[in-house]
Amino acid sequence: MRILNLVCIVLLICHWDGCLLWFVPMLQDFPVDCWIKLENLEHAHWTVQYTMSLFRALSQMLSIGYGRNTPTNTVDVWLTMVSMLIGSTCYALFVGHATTLIQSFDTSKRHYREKLKQIEEYMNYRKLPLHLRKRVNKYFEFKYQGKMFDEKNILEEFNECLKQEVLNYNCRSLVASTNLFSEANPNFVNEVISKLQFEVFQPDDVIVKQNSIGTKMYFIQEGWVDVVTECGTKVARLKEGAYFGEICLLKTEKRVANVVAVTFCNVFSLSSKHFKSVLAHYPETKSRLLSVAKQRLQSLRRKIKQNETKSKIDILCEDEDKNNDEEDDDNCDEYGLSCQYNVSNDDEYDDVYPMQRTKTADHCISNKYKSLEEK
C-alpha cells in the first residue's frame, strides 16, 4: 500500500508538470515557435492535448527525451529544465523511499545479519581460533533461526494479562510434557513461567558442573542431556519435559553430578531467588517437589556408587588378569612350555603335552577366581 501511495504521488506531480507545460504557452497566446503550435495541438480535442502534455512532461522528468519536438524558444527551454529537476528529485525520493520500505519488510532478519557482522568483527579482533568461531556461529544460527527479536522489551510493552497469555502459549509444550507443571496449581505454573529465562546449549556443553554451587534449575523444552559423574560414567539421560538442578535449590548441597548436552538443547532456567519466592506461596508444591528431589538424589547417589564399584571391579579384574598371565608364564616355564601358544597344530600340541597343558590352565583359572573372591 505504501508503494502504491508513492506511485500515485509521482503521477500527481507528472500531472501538475504537464499542466504547467500547457499553461505557460497559453498565457503567451501560443507563440508560433512553441511546442503546441509545432505539433498542431491548439485546436485538438482536450484529451489529445492532455495526453501530449503528460507525455512531454514524463519524457522530460525521466530524462529520456524532450517529447516529439525539442524546445525552440527560451520559455520552452526553461520549462524543460524545470521538468528535469522535478523528475530527478522525484526519482531520488522514490528510490530512497522504496529501499526503506523493502528493508522494513523483514526487520528481524536485517537485525540478525547486522548482529552476525558485529560478531564476525569481534572474533576477528580477538583472533579466535577456527573451531571456536564455528561454535559461535552455530550457537547463533540455532538460537535465532535467522531472525532476531528483543523479546524482553516486546513483552514489557504488554499489559500483565496479555503478557501472561503470550508466555503461556510460548511454553505450552513445556507445560504439557513436564510432570511438575501438569500436576501443579495453575497459579503456581503461571508464576514460574513468568520468571523463566530461555537458554540454548550446544552438544558437549556442560550445563551443570559437579561440586559447583547451584544457582539455577533447568527445564528441557527440546533436546537431550546426560547426567555424568566426575569420572565420566553416564548415570542417566534426560529428554524433553525433564527438569534438573532443583536438588541444590531445595537442599544446601553442591551439585552431585555433571549434566552435559548431547544435542542442541532449548532449556528454560529458573534462578534460585525466583524459585524460592514462588515456592514460598505454595507449600504443598514445595513439599512434593522436596520429596521427589530426595528420591532422585538417593537414586542418583546409588547409581553413582554402583558405577564406581563396577569401575573398581573392572580395574581389579584387569590387574588380576595381568598378574595371572605372569604366573601362567612362570608355570608354563616349569613344564618347558610357552604360554604364547604359537603352535601351528593344536592337536599335535595336545598329543605331546596333554597333562601339562590341562594342569597349567586349571592353575591359571583357579588362581584368578581365588584372588577375586578374596578381594
The CATH number linked to 165 is: 2.60.120.10
Looking at residue 356, what is its pLDDT?
A: 36
Residues 336 and 265 in one domain: no
Is residue 303 within 8 Å of residue 259, measured between CB atoms? no
Does residue 298 belong to any structural domain of this protein?
no
Q: Is residue 79 part of a domain?
A: yes
The per-residue pLDDT string of the chain (375 residues; one tens digit each, 9 = 90 and over) reads 777 887 888 889 889 988 988 888 888 888 888 888 888 888 888 999 899 888 888 888 887 766 677 787 888 888 888 888 888 888 888 888 878 877 777 788 888 989 999 999 999 999 999 999 999 999 999 999 888 888 888 999 999 999 999 999 999 888 888 888 887 888 999 999 999 999 999 999 999 999 898 889 999 999 999 999 888 888 889 999 899 988 888 877 788 889 999 999 999 999 989 988 998 888 888 888 888 888 887 887 787 777 767 665 665 566 555 555 555 555 444 444 333 333 334 443 343 333 333 443 444 444 443 444 444
Assess whether 248 and 344 both reside in one domain. no
The tally of domains found in the chain comes to 4
C-alpha cell at 123: 572474533
**What per-residue confidence (pLDDT) applies to 124?**
94
Determine the pLDDT at residue 345. 40
Domain assignment present for residue 70? The answer is yes
What pLDDT sits at residue 119?
Answer: 94
What pLDDT sits at residue 352?
34
Question: Looking at residue 201, what is its pLDDT?
Answer: 96
172 in the same domain as 131: no
Amino acid at the residue 265 = C
Q: Which domain holds residue 255?
A: 151-281
162 and 199 together in one domain? yes
At 185, give phi and psi (nearest 5°). -65, 135
299 domain residue, yes or no = no
| Residues 164, 71 within the same domain | no
Strands of 216-222's sheet in order across? 197-201, 265-271, 216-222, 243-244
Task: Show Cβ contacts of residue 136 under 8 Å, excluding neighbours closer than 6 positions.
Answer: 119, 123, 128
Q: What's the confidence (pLDDT) of residue 261?
A: 95
Does residue 247 lie in a domain region? yes
Q: Is residue 301 part of a domain?
A: no
Q: Cα angle vertex 168, ends 164, 173, to 5°? A: 170
Q: Is the residue at 81 inside a domain? A: yes
In a domain, 300, yes or no: no
> Is residue 271 domain-shared with residue 318, that is, in the same domain?
no
For residue 225, the model assigns a pLDDT of 95
Q: Give the pLDDT confidence score for residue 358 in this predicted structure.
A: 40
